[in-house]
Amino acid sequence: MVIAESETMKSQSHVAVLASPGMGHIIPLFELAKRLVVHHGIHVSFLNITTEASAAQNQLLHSPTLPPNLKVIDLPLADISALVTEDTLVVARLCINVQESLKPLKSILIDLGKPQALIVDLFSTQAFDICNELSIPTYTFFTASTAFLAFSLYLPTLDCEVECEFVDLPEPVQIPGCTPIRTEDLLDQVRNRKIDEYNWVLYHFSRLTMVTGIFLNSWEDFEPASLRAIREHPLYKQINTPPVHPVGPLIKEDEPLTESGAECVAWLDKQPMDSVLFVTLGSGGTLTTAQLTELAWGLELSQQRFILVARKPTDGNTSGTFFNVGGDVNDPKAYLPEGFLERTKGVGLVVQSWAPQVAVLRHQSTGAFLSHCGWNSTLESITHGVPMIAWPLYAEQRMNATMLMEEVGVAVKPMVGKVKDVVERVEIERVVRMIMEGEEGKAMRCKARELKHSAVKGLNFGGSSKESLSRVVKEWKCDKI
């Protein structure tokens, strides 16, 4: 692959950005790339891993409306067929994909004229070795919470100090300077230290200290305790934690409306202010058949207005659409309770597979968000002042849900019923009514709107996030001279 270096690239500071597969990684890194181009005058080459790319990924990265100095460069397809099977878990599959896709990275970076920096996400740290060879500084854009970054930095120490499984510890995991993590909230990949996924996570987490700096998709006023711990606690100084730069919340600012997306917005236009519950579980999340049935009944019993993004249930995998988001076609009548669509017509709107999340969350009729608590969705909800019903599915979402409920005060988490891992319809009815009509819901809405103003302030001229990114950009521009 030969990539010609343009005259514009020669005269401007030039940075490359690399995201691992999955919309939860690609969206924030792409938003960072756009911000560097539009607000800071940086030329950005966005390196796109095409192997197993979803329809949503292709649509986002190959939009005809990209800024002129943002170039998307497709990496060659990698053959991973001999390395993965249908049983390979999501994180292991993702890491193998990245490993194989980065084999031509050295020649690509040379063809690009050796950018001044490479920014990667948490699961692309194999790039560090190549950049070291080429003397290219590396940065991580950490796409989860500051609290999770603290845990990630501490995990290699925890791995050395604890012999048993972390889930078998009698007390919550004590993260230096941070709120302890209950063992039941630990992410799936560290719940069993004997599996490949744990080894991959430990590998990437242990390399976080190799970078020049860590960008955070958060802001100074949102998670002050975790941020202070990373900057000041002796443990993080001992492991040589790089400087952290909160530059968020960077979320998808807009998206083109499809026909079904326009239908969602038009339906919302007819509803009263703060009256609609938006129900969607992220780009990769799916429910079991039993749980989806209970959710539908709970929504119906609540008698509240709702938009439900319906996705075909998968009984064995809560991240069932991680690699094919935007590409599945399904008929909700085939798996929602019989008569549900007819009985809720007018009160609820059911859309297939996908809805324009940003457009729905910013709409004045949206009063709450039933969310999986992925970090992108969390930031989108807070940035638009919308409280949440926390419904975590996988990754670090249980940690996020607990923090949003107990520390931030913008979420309620339904209780799992007597049947294992199923939230029953009566409980769903209760929390939906509470967040849409109750005093607790009103208090959460007020708190969410306070944080909305804090987030906007951080990104505006003179704000902490704006200035944090500007300082790093200034270093790049000085190096260019």
| Helix (H) / strand (E) containing 273 | none
Percent helix, strand, coil in the chain, to 5, is 45, 15, 40
Listed in sequence order, the residues at least 6 apart from 3 whose beta carbon sits closer than 8 Å to its beta carbon are 45, 73, 108, 111, 112
**In angstroms, how far is CA 413 from the centroid of its own chain?**
19
Q: What average pLDDT does the segment 155-171 reach?
A: 97
**pLDDT over 90 (residue 12):** no
Predicted confidence at residue 74, as pLDDT, reads 97
Considering the domain architecture, whether residues 289 and 318 belong to the same structural domain is answered as yes
Annotation says 384 is catalytic = no
**pLDDT over 70 (residue 6):** no
Summarised one tens digit per residue, pLDDT across range 345-365 is 999 999 988 899 999 999 999
Taking the model in full, what pTM does it have? 0.93
More confident residue, 418 or 45: 45
Q: Is residue 2 part of a domain?
A: no
Predicted confidence at residue 424, as pLDDT, reads 96
Summarised one tens digit per residue, pLDDT across range 299-309 is 999 999 999 99
Q: Is residue 304 part of a domain?
A: yes
Q: What average pLDDT does the segment 151-180 reach?
A: 97
* Mean pLDDT taken over the chain: 93
Annotation says 121 is catalytic = yes
**pLDDT over 50 (residue 149):** yes
Residue 444 domain boundaries: 259-456
Assign residue 290 the CATH number of its domain: 3.40.50.2000
Considering the domain architecture, whether residues 228 and 170 belong to the same structural domain is answered as yes
Considering the domain architecture, whether residues 226 and 149 belong to the same structural domain is answered as yes
Summarised one tens digit per residue, pLDDT across range 60-100 is 999 888 999 999 999 999 999 999 999 999 999 999 999 99
**In angstroms, how far is CA 255 from the centroid of its own chain?**
17
Considering the domain architecture, whether residues 229 and 377 belong to the same structural domain is answered as no
Give the tokens for residue 380: 């989108």
Cα dihedral: 401, 292, 312, 56 (round 10):
-20
Q: Which residues are 462's β-sheet partners?
A: none
Number of domains within the chain? 2
Q: Is residue 303 part of a domain?
A: yes
**pLDDT over 90 (residue 7):** no
Q: Is residue 404 part of a domain?
A: yes
Summarised one tens digit per residue, pLDDT across range 243-301 is 999 999 999 987 788 888 999 999 999 999 999 999 999 876 889 999 999 999 999 99
Considering the domain architecture, whether residues 240 and 294 belong to the same structural domain is answered as no
Predicted confidence at residue 324, as pLDDT, reads 52
**pLDDT over 80 (residue 400):** yes
Summarised one tens digit per residue, pLDDT across range 120-130 is 999 999 999 99
Considering the domain architecture, whether residues 148 and 286 belong to the same structural domain is answered as no
**pLDDT over 60 (residue 325):** no
d(CA 224, CA 246): 11
Predicted confidence at residue 283, as pLDDT, reads 73
Closest to 473 measured CA to CA, from 290, 215, 195, 264: 215
Summarised one tens digit per residue, pLDDT across range 181-225 is 999 999 999 999 999 999 999 999 999 999 999 999 999 999 999
Q: Is residue 1 part of a domain?
A: no
Considering the domain architecture, whether residues 267 and 156 belong to the same structural domain is answered as no
SS3 309: strand
Cβ burial 400-432 (10 Å sphere, 16+ → b, else e): bbbbbbeebbbbbbbeeeeeeebbbbebbbbbb
Q: Is residue 94 part of a domain?
A: yes
Listed in sequence order, the residues at least 6 apart from 406 whose beta carbon sits closer than 8 Å to its beta carbon are none
d(CA 151, CA 392): 18
Predicted confidence at residue 354, as pLDDT, reads 86
Considering the domain architecture, whether residues 338 and 240 belong to the same structural domain is answered as no
SS3 181: strand
Q: Which residue has the tokens 């990698």?
A: 78
Considering the domain architecture, whether residues 147 and 285 belong to the same structural domain is answered as no
Could you say which of 40, 43, 121, 185 is catalytic?
Answer: 121
Considering the domain architecture, whether residues 78 and 98 belong to the same structural domain is answered as yes
Q: Is residue 298 part of a domain?
A: yes
pLDDT-derived band at 393, boundaries 50, 70, 90: very high
Considering the domain architecture, whether residues 238 and 267 belong to the same structural domain is answered as no
Q: Which residues are 214's β-sheet partners?
A: 140, 244
Closest to 357 measured CA to CA, from 248, 217, 254: 254
pLDDT-derived band at 2, boundaries 50, 70, 90: very low
Could you say which of 14, 25, 43, 384 is catalytic?
Answer: 25
Considering the domain architecture, whether residues 95 and 146 belong to the same structural domain is answered as yes
pLDDT-derived band at 11, boundaries 50, 70, 90: low
Q: What average pLDDT does the segment 129-145 reach?
A: 97
